[in-house]
Structure 1
Amino acid sequence: MVIAHNHNSQSTFKLKLNHMSDWTDEESAKIRAKIAVEPINYTPVMDASQRRINNVPDTYDWRNQTRVPNAVTPIKNQRHCGSCYAFAMVGALEKTYAQIYNSSGPLSPQQLIDCSYENGCEGGSFVGVFNYIHGNGDRLNLEKDYPSTPTGSKQDKCQNPDGQVLSTNSTYHLQYRSLPTDNEQYMKQTVYEQGPIYVYYNAGKREGNDTILREASTKFDHYASGIYDVPGCPTHENMNHAMVIIGYGTENGTDYWLVKNSWGTSWGNEGYIKIKRNANMCGIATWPYYAGLF
C-alpha cells in the first residue's frame, strides 16, 4: 500500500511505515477517541478592528516566531490511549503558559486524563476538560510535576490537582471561544493573531465496510510528508480525533494547515502533518476552538 501510494504521481503526500504499521484494527481504534462534540456557541475571538485578513501573512509557524517564545513544546505520545482530547488541550494552552511565565512549560495531559471527569482513555471533549481546568482555579500542572504513565493509561485517582495558574490577574482570565464553523479564513486569522487552536478531526477507521473511512485511516496512520488530502473524507460526522493547528502556509500552490499530533515523533513528519486548507478536510474546520486570556 505504501509503495503503491508513493508511486502515484497525482498524490500530494507521501506515506511511510512506522510504529503503527503492525497494529491490529482494534489497536488502531483505541487511539481514536469517542469525541463528545458540543453545540457551537460562537463568540468572536477578535473584535471588528482586529479582523484584518489582508494583513495576515501567507505563512506562519508558531514554532519559529519570537512574539511568544516556547509557544509550542515538543511532540508528545498518547500511546494506546484514546486521550487525544487531553493532549490537544495542553497543546492549545501551552502558548498561554509561555505568555504568562516567559518560559517553556510542557503542560500535563495526564492530569486531564486522571482528574477531569471525562472518559480517560475512552475519549472526552474540549469543553469538558476546559471546565475542569476552570473549576480547578485555572490551574494545570506542568508535565514534570504530573508525568504521564508509562503506557499513557488513566490512573485510579487524581494524583495532584494543583498546578500553574493560567490567568494573569483580575483583568485577564482563561476563557475559550468557539470559532465559526467552516470558516477557514477566520481560523487563519485566529491562528496568527491569537495562537494555536484546538480542532476535532475525522482520522478514519480501519474496521467496518466504509471504504473512504478505511482509506482515510490507513493513510492518516502512515502519513509521512506533503499535504494530506483524501477526497470524500466526511466533514461533519465520525469525528474521532483532536489535534492542534500551530500554523499554516502554501506548498506547490496548495494551502495547508500545519498540525501538531500526539502520536510520537516516529509518526508523520516528526510528529506533525500538513492538512489541505480551505477544503474542511476531514472536518478540521467544523468544530474549532481557541483558549487563552480574555
Structure 2
Amino acid sequence: MHLREILFAILGVHITGIHSDSVLDEIWHEWMRLNGKTYPGRVSEIKHKQTWERNYLRVLEHNTEKDSLFRMELNFLADETFERTPMASAKLTKDTLRFQPESDLIVSFNDILLPDSWDWRTKKAVTHVENQGQLGDSQAFAAKECVESFNFIKTTDLLLASAAEMHDCCTATGFATETVFDCVHNIGGLCEDYYYPSTYGQCRNNSCTPLAKVSGGQRLPTGDEEAMKSAVYITPVLSLVDASQVSFQLYQEGIYSDPQCSNSTVNHALQVVGYGSLNGMDYWICRNSWGLYWGMNGYITIARNRRNMCGIASFSSYPV
C-alpha cells in the first residue's frame, strides 16, 4: 500500500468530530514514521508540528469542499512552510512585458491544427521524475528536462541530462534574465548526468562531452495560453509559476486552481508536457521536481484558460 494510502486510512478514522491532542499526537508520530522525519531537538519538532497541525486542518477543510476540482494531502512537505523559495521571485514589470525573441529561430504556429489533448509522456519523450533535493533549483531541472525532450524529438535519443550543469552554468544566480536555452547553446549543450561532476558551484561544461544540444530559445507572449498550447504541441515548455500557496505544496490530484495564486509573481519552475480537458475544464500537464511522492506521481494538472492560473503563461519559453 502507498504511504499516502496508509496515512489517509488513519485520517479517515478521525475525519469527523473534534480531534483531541492525543489523537493528533498519534497521527503526527505515524506521519513522521511514514515520511522518515527526524528533528535536531524538541524545539525544532514542536515548531514543525505546529505547522503540520495547521496544514492538517487545511487538508481536512479543503477536501470536504464539494466544488473543489482537486484534493490536498498531508505529504512529506506538510511540516514545512513555503516561506523558503528555491529561487528569487520574478515579477512582471513594464520591462518584462516587452517579450522579444531571444533567438533568431522563430517557430511559426500558423496553420497548425492542434488536437484537443496532447501528452508527450505517451510519446516516450520525457525522462523519469526527479527530486531537486539539496540543489534546490527547480528551474535547472525544468529547463534541462525541456532540453532532454527537445533532443529526443530531434534525434529519438532520450538522454538524462545534467541538472547540476544547468545549475552551475545557467541558473545558479536565480531566474535567468535571458532564456536559459540561449545559455545552453552558448556552453555547447548539456552533458549526460552521469558524466558531469556531482559537486556544485562552478561551471565545468568542459569536463564532459555535451550530447543534448539546442540552437537557442524562444519566449512566448505573456499570458497567451493559445500560443503556449501550440508550443507544447511542438515541444515541452518551461513555465515559471507561483507555487507559494499551501494548496500547491500539499497538492495530491485533480485540476489545480487557487484564487490566491498570483499570475504576475512567480517562484517555481515546471515542465509543461501536455494539455487536455476533463468535464469541460481545460488543464495543463506539468512535471514537478519534488519526486514521485508529490502530486500525481510527481505531476500536477493546472487549470488552463482560467485567467493564466498561477502565471503558467506569464514566463514561458522553449528550446529551438
Whether contact under 8 Å (1:197, 1:290) holds in the other structure is yes
Structure 2 partner of 1:124? 175
Structure 1 partner of 2:45? none
Match of 1:241, as an amino acid? H
Matches within 5 A, 1:128-143: 129-137=180-188, 139-143=189-193
Whether contact under 8 Å (1:78, 1:263) holds in the other structure is yes
CA distance in 1, matches of 2:235, 2:182: 20
Whether contact under 8 Å (1:2, 1:17) holds in the other structure is yes
Whether 1:164 and 2:210 are equivalent positions in the alignment is: yes
Structure 1 partner of 2:128? 74
Structure 2 partner of 1:46? 107
Post-superposition shift, 1:132?
3.1
Post-superposition shift, 1:62?
0.2
Whether 1:198 and 2:249 are equivalent positions in the alignment is: no
1:36–1:18 distance in 2 versus 1, CA, 3 Å: same
> What TM-score does the superposition give when structure 1 sets the normalisation length?
0.79
Whether 1:108 and 2:166 are equivalent positions in the alignment is: no
Structure 1 gaps of 5+ residues are 150-154, 168-172, 205-216
Structure 2 partner of 1:225? 253
SS for the counterpart of 2:239 is strand
Structure 2 partner of 1:18? 75
Q: Which has the higher helix share?
A: 2
CA distance in 1, matches of 2:239, 2:203: 26
CA distance in 1, matches of 2:179, 2:216: 13
Whether 1:189 and 2:220 are equivalent positions in the alignment is: no
Match of 1:146, as an amino acid? Y
Once the two structures are superposed, residues 234-278 of structure 1 have per-residue CA deviations (whole angstroms, 9 ceiling, x without a partner) of 211x21111111000001210000001111111110000000001
SS for the counterpart of 1:92 is helix
Q: Which has the higher contact order (CA 8 A, sep 6+)?
A: 1
CA distance in 2, matches of 1:109, 1:288: 19
Structure 1 partner of 2:146? 92
Structure with larger Rg: 2
SS for the counterpart of 2:263 is coil
Matched pairs, number: 254
Structure 2 gaps of 5+ residues are 1-57
Structure 1 partner of 2:59? 2
Coordinate RMSD, CA, aligned: 2.3
Post-superposition shift, 1:286?
1.0
1:131–1:175 distance in 2 versus 1, CA, 3 Å: closer
Whether contact under 8 Å (2:187, 2:205) holds in the other structure is no
Whether contact under 8 Å (2:219, 2:316) holds in the other structure is yes
Post-superposition shift, 1:126?
6.8
Whether 1:288 and 2:293 are equivalent positions in the alignment is: no
Post-superposition shift, 1:116?
3.1
CA distance in 1, matches of 2:311, 2:301: 14
CA distance in 1, matches of 2:274, 2:158: 18
CA distance in 2, matches of 1:220, 1:11: 14
Which consecutive segments of 4 or more residues in structure 1 shift more than 6 A?
none
1:20–1:273 distance in 2 versus 1, CA, 3 Å: same
Match of 2:241, as an amino acid? Y
Match of 2:255, as an amino acid? I
